[in-house]
Amino acid sequence: MKAVLTAAGMLAAMPAGHAQEPVDVVLVLAADVSRSMSPGELAIQRDGYAAALNHPDVLRAIGQGAYGRIAVTMFEWAGNSAIRPVFDWTLVETAADADKLSAAVQSSGPIGQRRTSISGAIRHALTLIDDAPFDGFRKVIDISGDGPNNQGQPVVEARELALARRIVINGLPLMTGDGFDGGFNIPDLDAYYGNCVIGGPGSFLVPVTSWDQFPEAIRRKLILEIGGLPPMEPTVVPAQARPAQGLRTSPGSYDCLIGEKIWEQRQWMFQDP
């Protein structure tokens, strides 16, 4: 049985000049823990990821790849200064490998943090991919979040950094919430993700409109990311499939700075009297 290999262990074991180990997919999971999510929602998100990572359908998708293995890392994010690793780069090839990842997620204790920097999450994910001891046939950043970018670099600029390196960004917009900072969210978050966040060949998003959808949504999303999608244009894969063009507007017509503008209007809520 192959042991789970973290980035530190792989790097220590590799002699100088050793080639990176090939895998079907190098996948970064970036989970939103901003304060617009309630403690109950954070728990549902944690449990959903834990259940998906070792689900038989996900393992079957891994086994059907050319190499039959993927590399995964996961972190939680909110504002630029609120990034916390959940688990390091790990090779997943067997059920035992996946079980260890699931246990790592289940034992994590996400805590809501202030602000929402999708651009910061993308940039952190790019750094992780740079440092990965694996060579993925495909490189994917998977971002879940319940609000627009309101801190740091504009999200479109961060997205372009990823696309220039042929790294795909997929999205899981969480379109429900009762957290403390819910006033900074927007009703058309799926359109925001479609126009401003996701990108790259075969990219897609899976909107979640109620939390009971989350476990199935993240499981389906992982299966699609591991197996790859045939379309070359961004695709929307909600509970009931609908065309991506239903969310996309003409280039430049969607305001991808909407989150920053809402923050400018409402930041007084967090200022001392």
The residue ranking higher by pLDDT, 264 or 268, is 264
**What are the two backbone dihedrals, phi and then psi, of residue 202, each rounded to the nearest 5 degrees?**
75, 10
Answer yes or no: is pLDDT of 41 > 70. yes
- CA separation for the pair 139, 28 (Å, rounded): 8
Answer yes or no: is pLDDT of 24 > 80. yes
Structure-block tokens of residue 72: 């995964």
Least confident window among 1-10, 25-34, 113-122, 255-264 = 1-10
The pLDDT score that the predictor gives to residue 163 is 97
Nearest to 175 by CA among 196, 204, 145: 145
What single string gives the DSSP state of each residue in 223-268? HHHHH--S-SS-EE--SS---GGGT--STT-S-TTHHHHHHHHHGG
The pLDDT score that the predictor gives to residue 4 is 42
Domains and CATH numbers, the chain: 20-268 (3.40.50.410)
Nearest to 78 by CA among 41, 42, 117: 117
Burial class (CB in 10 A: 0-12, 13-18, 19+), 186: middle
The pLDDT score that the predictor gives to residue 211 is 84
Answer yes or no: is pLDDT of 33 > 50. yes
- 147 half-sphere exposure, CB direction, 13 A CA radius: 30
Q: Which residues contact 13 (CB under 8 A, 6 or more apart)?
A: none
Answer yes or no: is pLDDT of 16 > 60. no
Which residue's structure tokens are 């991919």? 129
Q: What's the rounded mean pLDDT across residues 156-165?
A: 97
Confidence of residue 185 (pLDDT cuts 50, 70, 90): confident
Least confident window among 124-133, 159-168, 185-194 = 185-194
Per the prediction, the chain carries an average pLDDT of: 82
The pLDDT score that the predictor gives to residue 227 is 87
Model confidence pLDDT, tens digit, residues 197-243: 999 998 999 999 888 888 999 999 999 999 875 444 555 654 333 33
* Structural contact between residues 162 and 126, judged by C-beta atoms closer than 8 angstroms: yes
pTM: 0.83
Which residue's structure tokens are 């309630």? 38
The residue ranking higher by pLDDT, 269 or 114, is 114
* Structural contact between residues 167 and 139, judged by C-beta atoms closer than 8 angstroms: yes
- CA separation for the pair 229, 235 (Å, rounded): 9
